[in-house]
Amino acid sequence: MGKNILEYNLMRKKVSRNPFQVEVEEKLGRNDDCWCGSGRKYKKCHCSFDEKLDDYRRKGILVPPRRIIKNPDQIQGIHESAKVNIAVLDYLDEHIEEGVSTQEIDNWVSSITKKYNAVAAPLNYEGFPKSVCTSINDVVCHGIPSRDEILKDGDIINVDVSTIYKGYFSDSSRMYCIGNVSAEKKRLVDIAKQSLEIGLQYVQPWRKIGDLGAAIHEFVMQNGYSVVRDIGGHGVGLEFHEDPWVSYVCPKDTGMLMVPGMVFTIEPMINMGKEDIYISDDDGWTVHTEDGLPSAQWEIQVLVTEDGYEIISY
C-alpha cells in the first residue's frame, strides 16, 4: 500500500530505469591509455579483460559497464572512506543503549563524521533529512532519526551508515539489540548476520551475482523467514548507488557478471513474517513490514578481487 515501490527505488536511485541497457564503450588501441584511469597502456591493463568480457557478452550474459569498475587508486579511496564508516559504527557499538533517542544517534554520526572531515551521505540525499538511517523493530529500512523515538528494552535497531570521504562512498550497517531482547528476535538478528557469510561464499570473479542472492534466499527460507524483494543492494564507491542492483531473492545463474574491481553491498532485509512491505505516507521514506512483525538487516560492502573478495566496510 502507500507509495509504489518501483517509483520509490527509482527516486532514491537504488535502481536504474533500464539496467539491461547495453552501453557502447569506446574501442581503444593497444597503445592508448587504459580506460580505467590507471595511467597504463591499454594492452598492459584491461585489454585482455575486455576480450574476456566480450566473450561473455556474446553469450548473452550481462556484463558490467566500465564506469563501475574501480582502479587501484579508487579502491584505496573507498578504503579510506570505509575507515570512517567503520569508526562510526564502532562508536555506536559502545554507546547505543536503552533510553537513547534516534536523534542522539544521528548527532553522534554527524559529529564523528565531521571529526574525520567526511560527509554523511544520507543527509540531503534525494531529500533525506538526517545523517543516518535508524530502523527499529518492524521498520525494514530508511527510518528517520527523531527526538521522540527512544530506544527501549527489547528493541532491535539497524543503524545504516554511509560516508563520503574525498569523493568516495562507503556504506554498511549493523544491528543492535537493546537490553533483554526476546530469543525470537535475537535469532532473526543472527540469521540476518549469518546470511552475509553465506552470500560471501559466492563472491568470485567471473561468476554471476544472482548466485549470491539465490544462496541467501535459500538459507533464509530454510530458517523460516522471508527476504524483502523490492529493496536490494547496489554498487557503491564512486557514487552512493551504482549498478548493479543486488537482489537476494533471484534464481541462481542470473544477473550481472562479477569481475575484479566491482564494489557492491550485501544487505538482505530479513523479515520474521511475510516479505511484504509498505512505505510510510507520512514521511515518504520509512519502510515497514506489512504484517508489523520485526525485520533485521546487516550490510557489508565488498570488493571483487582477482581470486575472490575483500570486505571493505562492515
CB nearer to ligand MF3: pick between 45 and 263: 263
Site for Co ion (CB under 5 A): which residue of 106, 171, 211, 230? 171
199 binds ligand MF3 (CB under 6 A): no
12 binds ligand MF3 (CB under 6 A): yes
CB nearer to ligand MF3: pick between 45 and 212: 212
Site for ligand MF3 (CB under 6 A): which residue of 128, 169, 225, 248? 128
What does 81 bind: Co ion, ligand MF3, none (CB cut-off 5 to 8 Å by kind)? none
**CA 47 to each of CA 29, 32, 59, 147, 294: distance values in angstroms, whole numbers, following the listed order:** 9, 10, 19, 54, 49
- Beta-sheet pairing, 119-120 with 156-165: antiparallel
- Taking the complex as a whole, how short is the minimal distance between the CB of residue 147 and ligand MF3, in angstroms? 19
256's grid cell: 550481472
- Taking the complex as a whole, how short is the minimal distance between the CB of residue 79 and ligand MF3, in angstroms? 18
243 binds ligand MF3 (CB under 6 A): no
Contacting range for ligand MF3; rule: CB under 6 A; set: 15-23, 86-94, 122-130, 178-186: 122-130
Integer Cα distance of 31 and 166 in angstroms: 31
165's grid cell: 570521504
Integer Cα distance of 287 and 227 in angstroms: 14
Q: What is the DSSP letter of 43?
A: G
Residue 270: strand pairing partners = 227, 296
138 binds ligand MF3 (CB under 6 A): no
Determine the Cα angle at 161 with ends 159 and 165, to 5°. 170
Q: 3-state DSSP call for residue 310?
A: strand
Site for ligand MF3 (CB under 6 A): which residue of 35, 91, 116, 125? 125
- Taking the complex as a whole, how short is the minimal distance between the CB of residue 292 and ligand MF3, in angstroms? 22
Contacting range for ligand MF3; rule: CB under 6 A; set: 46-54, 120-128, 180-188, 256-264: 120-128
122 binds ligand MF3 (CB under 6 A): yes
**CA 164 to each of CA 149, 170, 239, 240: distance values in angstroms, whole numbers, following the listed order:** 27, 7, 9, 8
CB nearer to ligand MF3: pick between 102 and 162: 162
133 binds ligand MF3 (CB under 6 A): yes
Site for ligand MF3 (CB under 6 A): which residue of 74, 162, 289, 313? 162
Integer Cα distance of 102 and 146 in angstroms: 5
Integer Cα distance of 185 and 190 in angstroms: 9
Q: 3-state DSSP call for residue 8?
A: helix
- Taking the complex as a whole, how short is the minimal distance between the CB of residue 6 and ligand MF3, in angstroms? 15
CB nearer to Co ion: pick between 134 and 265: 265
The helix/strand count (H/E) of the chain reads as 6, 15
- Please give the residue ranges that form the binding site for Co ion (CB under 5 A): 171, 265
Q: Which residues bind ligand MF3 (CB under 6 A)?
A: 12, 122, 125, 128, 133, 142, 160, 162, 171
